[in-house]
Amino acid sequence: MKKQIIVSGATGNLGKVVVGKLTGLGYDLHINVRNSAKAGDFDPAFVSTYEADLTDADQAEKFVSNAISKAGRIHAGVFLAGGFAPGKLEETTVQEIERMINMNFFTAFNLIKPLKAHFELNGGGQIILVGARPALVPAQGAASFAYTLSKSLLFQMADMINAEGKKTNVSASIVVPSIIDTPDNREAMPDADFNKWISPEDMAEGIAFILSETGSKMRETVLKLYHKA
Ligand SMILES: NC(=O)c1ccc[n+]([C@@H]2O[C@H](COP(=O)([O-])OP(=O)(O)OC[C@H]3O[C@@H](n4cnc5c(N)ncnc54)[C@H](OP(=O)(O)O)[C@@H]3O)[C@@H](O)[C@H]2O)c1
């Protein structure tokens, strides 16, 4: 049976490359879009699209249940949706913390909640999340307080899923980039040495390995793709 995978953030800089890599490997993908016009960027032979804003728990739940109805069985979720915001603690408002947690934590949690139940009823499954280095190296987090806090929740959630998932064959892995070499980052940091950054292709390769036969046997995986940055 072809592996059926739900992907969030597929329309983003990393997401587009991950979609290319995973469809190239023969996986069937189920992705959400927030703007239906973006569905046209994907080949419907390999990618099924569903409209959902993932900060909305009902829309996320509907996305997962529609994908399950179409696929019959989902084997993995690759959750890339998220976003960055700078700002030190002194400058951070409660609203900004809520915005970052919505964007980086709830977009994943709202998918994991229904998908974990599906995995547990069907012999297991894999969850892959994208963390951020400052969540592991607090000294780097001062300049992006709310963002770092929101990403740190993903590590805690993955640990809890892995502890419980030992019995149910549900695993959560986190891929941690330094700086991804995207057009947005090049524009924001024009004087940086882009060769030190991690490419979206390398990120996609890492994700593909986690989904592979061998990779799916790894547990409590935190894959640090820092390259030279
Ligand atoms: N770029 C980096 O250097 C870097 C470093 C560390 C971690 N990361 C993480 O890597 C992931 C991908 O980064 P990227 O550079 O590819 O970002 P990106 O180009 O900004 O893409 C973000 C993606 O998330 C989706 N998204 C955001 N909010 C959403 C919501 N409420 N509901 C549904 N989808 C939503 C966006 O959808 P739309 O197309 O609808 O906007 C888009 O597909 C993110 O989680 C990011 O935090 C990136």
**Span from the CA of 9 to the centroid of ligand 1 (angstroms):** 5
Neighbouring residues of 172: CB distance < 8 A, sequence distance ≥ 6: 126, 127, 128, 129, 157, 158, 161, 162, 165
pLDDT at 2 (0 to 100): 82
| CB distance 129 to ligand 1 below 6 Å | no
Interval 121-135: pLDDT, tens? 999 999 999 999 999
Average pLDDT score, the chain: 97
For atom 7 of ligand 1, the residue with the nearest CA is: 132
Interval 61-118: pLDDT, tens? 999 999 999 999 999 999 999 999 999 999 999 999 999 999 999 999 999 999 999 9
Domains, the chain, ordered by start: 4-225 (3.40.50.720)
Q: Is the pLDDT of residue 47 over 90?
A: yes
Does the pTM surpass 0.85? The reply is yes
> Which of 130, 176, 226 to probe ligand 1 with, by most ligand atoms within 8 A of CB?
130
Interval 148-163: pLDDT, tens? 999 999 999 999 999 9
Q: Compute the distance between CA of residue 8 and CA of residue 53 in angstroms, rounded to an integer.
A: 10
Q: Is the pLDDT of residue 1 over 70?
A: no
Sign of CA dihedral 85, 87, 88, 94: negative
pLDDT at 79 (0 to 100): 98
Beta pairing class for 28-33 and 125-130:
unpaired
**Span from the CA of 164 to the centroid of ligand 1 (angstroms):** 28
**Span from the CA of 130 to the centroid of ligand 1 (angstroms):** 9
Residue with structure tokens 């469809």?
A: 23
Interval 189-227: pLDDT, tens? 999 999 999 999 999 999 999 999 999 999 999 999 999
**Span from the CA of 180 to the centroid of ligand 1 (angstroms):** 11
Q: 198 phi and psi, to 5 degrees?
A: -95, 135
Rg (CA), the chain: 17
Residue with structure tokens 């061998």?
A: 214
Opening angle at CA 228, ends 13 and 171, nearest 5: 60
| CB distance 13 to ligand 1 below 6 Å | yes
Using DSSP, state whether 146 is helix, strand or coil: helix
**Span from the CA of 117 to the centroid of ligand 1 (angstroms):** 25
